[in-house]
Chain A
Amino acid sequence: MNDPKQPPMIVPGYLKTELRSPAGPLWPLVDRAALDAERAQQVEVDPAEYDLSVISPGRPRALGQLIVVSGVVLDEEGRPVRNAMIEMWQANSAGKYLHHNDPSPVPVDPNFLGFGRVVTDAYGRYRFRTIKPGGYAVPDDGPGSASDWWRPPHIHLSIFGPTFGSRLVTQMYFPGEPLNASDLLLNSIRDRDARLRLISKFTPTLSTRDGALGYEHDLVLSGRYQTPFEDE
């Protein structure tokens, strides 16, 4: 539990971590077969979901800086993971989520839902288009919670790998953002290299002529997965 490459369960100032993290011991798992088991049922993903910047064809584009995010999903040995499903969700360019749980007074963008899904190709690659999310002030949750906490711009990523044990839920940050230095979540990870793995790279070669700036972001799932059809 004290892995410096992972966040701690309790993050001081983020009150919900103190109210929701178990105090008792984590008991040993006697059989890991259900973690290594394949997640056979696939979820159907419409290819149009790769573009978060338009709700549907013909609708106006969401406000904000258009971006492209691309990368590979790898296993712990650096092998590409094909058919991984990635769910992403984020705030709009003003820092507001289109969600009934978001109390922020910042305006909704009528042309931005803020979520989409993609599936990695045979080389483990993925790509999606969106707008750069805004930062926002985290509401004060009462005693024990930080009163001056701002979330830097970030995109939530939830990845379903080949097995039940390869599940990953994480957040992607942007390089050079002043709020990165003070974010409670990003800086709860003690290992500097591990923190840097959460920050995407500005990659001009990925930028597109229609105005999308390119960011590269690779993801590494736990476990080792034999790629089908590969010679041993």
Chain B
Amino acid sequence: MTHGPTTPFHTTGPFYPEPFIDDASFDLAREAAASTPGECVELRGRVVDARGHAVVNAVLELWMRSVPGEAYRWGRCWTSDTGEYFFRIPRPTSHDVSRAPHLHLRILGSGLMRPLYTQIFFPGDSRNEVDPQLAAILDPEARARLIACRDDIHCHAGTDAMRFDIVLRGAQETPFLNYSDAR
């Protein structure tokens, strides 16, 4: 870890301007959109606090590679008045044997003095069993919470769907990763 005189973090507060996030930025599959069926995955979820209440106007920033070696795609969205978010992503076609396919997620919002980071894994992928990041989460119940759930209701022709709910604090707390000391 370095100790340069970096500017301290602060919360976004509750008034992050929604116009900063343009209408297309939830869609990381823009180019893949009209291509082969099954190439797109819809990702939905709800962000809640320690009391199970919706976290409103949190900003979720998502980045990923769909193919090893390509530039990272990224997008962002904010949570609705019911704490819900929605992304569309290309299905990763990773042949990387060292990692299971995963998404990087950063959460900013009111009450978060620093961003929270986690990774989202795909349901039913056998590589989850050997992924070193999942293995680093020593609590098996917590580890399982990083794998999204199938979302059959929202699957439709050409598009899969999965659900990843985020609990910021509490018994079912989402495991978060230490991105700030990893320097």
A→B interface (CB under 8 Å): 5-9, 11, 14-24, 26-32, 34-35, 37-41, 43, 75-77, 87, 89, 97, 99, 101-102, 114-115, 117, 156, 158, 164-165, 167-171, 185, 188-189, 193-195, 197-198, 219-223
Does B112 sit at the interface, judged by CB under 8 A? yes
Cβ contact of B176, chosen from A22, A87, A171, A193, cutoff 8 A? A22
Q: How many residues of B contact A (CB 8 A)?
A: 63
The answer to whether B137 touches A7 (Cβ under 8 A) is no
The A contact surface, by secondary structure, is loop
- In the complex formed, the residue of A with least CB distance to B18 is A99
- Chain B residues near A34: list those with CB within 8 A: 63, 72, 104
Cβ contact of B7, chosen from A17, A97, A164, A197, cutoff 8 A? A197
Knowing A26-B177, A77-B4, say if A19 contacts B10 (CB, 8 Å). Answer: no
Quick one: CB contact mask for B84-122 with A, threshold 8 Å, 1 for yes?
000000000000000100001010111111111100000
The answer to whether B179 touches A35 (Cβ under 8 A) is yes
- Chain A nearest CB from B112 CB (Å) reads 6
- Chain B residues near A115: list those with CB within 8 A: 17, 19-20
The answer to whether B113 touches A11 (Cβ under 8 A) is yes
Does B34 sit at the interface, judged by CB under 8 A? no
- In the complex formed, the residue of B with least CB distance to A38 is B71
- Chain A residues near B140: list those with CB within 8 A: none
User: In the complex the two chains form, what is the Cα distance from A124 to B183 in whole Å?
Assistant: 23
The B contact surface, by secondary structure, is loop
The answer to whether B99 touches A158 (Cβ under 8 A) is no
Knowing A27-B137, A101-B56, A115-B20, say if A170 contacts B173 (CB, 8 Å). Answer: no
The answer to whether B177 touches A27 (Cβ under 8 A) is yes
- Chain A residues near B71: list those with CB within 8 A: 37-38, 40-41
- In the complex formed, the residue of B with least CB distance to A39 is B74
User: In the complex the two chains form, what is the Cα distance from A198 to B56 in whole Å?
Assistant: 27
Which of B35-63 touch A at CB < 8 Å?
A: 49-51, 53, 55-57, 61, 63
- Chain A residues near B63: list those with CB within 8 A: 34, 37, 39, 164
- Chain A residues near B115: list those with CB within 8 A: 167, 169
The answer to whether A39 touches B72 (Cβ under 8 A) is yes
User: In the complex the two chains form, what is the Cα distance from A26 to B12 in whole Å?
Assistant: 21
Task: Known A-B contacts: A27-B142, A198-B8. Give 15 more (CB < 8 A).
Answer: A5-B5, A5-B8, A9-B114, A16-B111, A20-B55, A31-B99, A34-B72, A97-B15, A102-B14, A114-B17, A156-B12, A158-B20, A185-B11, A194-B5, A223-B183
Cβ contact of A102, chosen from B12, B15, B132, B137, cutoff 8 A? B15
Which of B1-39 touch A at CB < 8 Å?
A: 2-17, 19-20, 22
